[in-house]
Structure 1
Amino acid sequence: MNKFTGLLLTASLSLGLLGCDGSVDDNSTPVPPTPSPTPPTLSADVCYLMNTTKGNITLAIDLTNMPITGKNFKQYVDKSFYNGTLFHRTVNNFMIQGGGFTTGLKSKPTSAAIKNEAAIGISNKRGTIAMARGQASDTATSQFYINVLDNSQLDASADKFGYAVFGKVVDGMDVADQISIVKTTTIDGFRDTPVQEILINSVTETSCPAA
């Protein structure tokens, strides 16, 4: 498996996000947990201003319903991990993905992988932020993606683990849309890579907008 976090397009156009954080070869057949029948509404517990070379995106992160995933993102922000990383994969009418590579597509060392909380049941709707991961369920580390369309095919179900949504864009979705339509190419097997690098300059805590 390519070390790069990629996007798997099957013959049926079913889309999945693959994590790069090590070659994952899951030969077992674990049973996905049953998704919650009444998924919670996303909570805005902490907000971050993500400054990129395309503009600003403000994210509200749910630490209440998604404690593992939300706190994982927070700890990366707290140590300035995302500063200087790329939106390294952009797919029009699907998603934009970042948080794992620096300029020149150099992989950045991460903390340990986390448990997949997708079964909590929050859907991959337009404007939500979720974790990319490897082929196995509990393999997400630092990489995330922002959905630019509703992508329910990425949700957990009775037969798939899904991808854990842990927040949403509360301002700057127009910037995410612009990132999603930039010209891309393939570089050394890295597909859907922006021809002109899109940098995350900084991610800093900010006030959450009034409910």
Structure 2
Amino acid sequence: MHGLFRFLALSAALMLGFSALASAEPRVRVETTLGSFVIELNPQRAPLTVASFLEYVKAGHYTNTVFHRVIGNFVVQGGGYDTSYVEKPTRSGIPNESGNGLSNRRGTVGLARTGEAHSGTAQFYVNLVDNAALDPQPSRWGYTVFGQVVEGMNVVDDIGAVATGNVGPFDRDAPLQPIIIKRVEVLQ
């Protein structure tokens, strides 16, 4: 009987361990010229956005792109332009998942888009402060939050503090010294 109890206990522990691993939130490391930060993704709340983002990551889309929009006390945005400030090709926009219950709080990561609700592709932003104005309202779509910076928020803050101005096709808010995303990689 004692052996059966130990077997059942060990089996239960293994099953719990495997289910915890299976449900672990994927993480990616964003390596920039100012340092690295880690984003924990939330596929339960934003499955389409996370799947699309991970496709871009695995395809190497973010390698040698820049943070092209930096607004202190608001957001840092990147992932769409190469180091020559040429817009990179993307897939079609994905359905907006902003009504997923996640709010644009400091350190959260969202999907950038145009004025069209379902236009988000590869560009992402990190909130430097709480930005509830980016959340959905009864009369309009919001911006989809799909992750959270869990390591290196100091690097994001450093990016948010750089001098900005007119660079390339941007008449304002572009870092005067390029901040390059060297690569984005999925962590195991």
Which bracket does the TM-score occupy, shorter chain normalised? Answer: 0.7 to 0.9
Could you tell me which residue of structure 2 aligns to residue 77 of structure 1? 57
* More displaced 10-residue stretch of structure 1: 131-140 or 185-194: 185-194
Which structure has more helix as a fraction of its residues? 2
Matched letter for residue 163 of structure 1: Y
Could you tell me which residue of structure 2 aligns to residue 193 of structure 1? 174
Q: Is the 8 A contact 2:45 2:102 kept in 1?
A: no
The alignment status of 1:206 with 2:176, answered yes or no, reads no
Q: What does residue range 38-49 of structure 1 map to in structure 2 within 5 Å?
A: 45-49=25-29
Q: Is the 8 A contact 1:100 1:107 kept in 2?
A: yes
The alignment status of 1:63 with 2:43, answered yes or no, reads yes
Q: Distance in 2 between matches of 1:198 and 1:157?
A: 33
Could you tell me which residue of structure 2 aligns to residue 143 of structure 1? 123
For normalisation by structure 2, the TM-score amounts to 0.85
Could you tell me which residue of structure 1 aligns to residue 3 of structure 2? none
Query: Counterpart of 1:106 in 2: which secondary structure?
Result: coil
Q: Distance in 2 between matches of 1:78 and 1:152?
A: 31
Q: Is the 8 A contact 2:56 2:62 kept in 1?
A: yes
1:68 deviates by: 0.5
Cα deviations by residue, 1:63-115 (Å, 9 ceiling, x for unpaired)? 12211111111100011110111111101000100000001211100011100
1:187 deviates by: 2.9
* The one of 59, 81, 85 aligned to 1:105: 85
Q: What does residue range 91-102 of structure 1 map to in structure 2 within 5 Å?
A: 91-102=71-82
Cα deviations by residue, 1:165-205 (Å, 9 ceiling, x for unpaired)? 00000000000000001000113551200000000001111
Could you tell me which residue of structure 2 aligns to residue 126 of structure 1? 106
Q: Which has the larger radius of gyration?
A: 2
Cα deviations by residue, 1:88-143 (Å, 9 ceiling, x for unpaired)? 11010001000000012111000111000001121000000001101110000100
Q: Distance in 2 between matches of 1:160 and 1:192?
A: 26
Could you tell me which residue of structure 1 aligns to residue 8 of structure 2? none
Could you tell me which residue of structure 1 aligns to residue 135 of structure 2? 155
Q: Distance in 2 between matches of 1:187 and 1:49?
A: 27
Q: Runs of 4+ in structure 1 displaced over 6 angstroms?
A: none
Q: Is the 8 A contact 1:121 1:156 kept in 2?
A: no
Q: Which structure 2 residue ranges, 5 or more long, are not aligned?
A: 1-22
Q: Distance in 1 between matches of 2:123 and 2:24?
A: 20
Could you tell me which residue of structure 2 aligns to residue 28 of structure 1? none
Q: Alignment RMSD, CA only?
A: 1.2
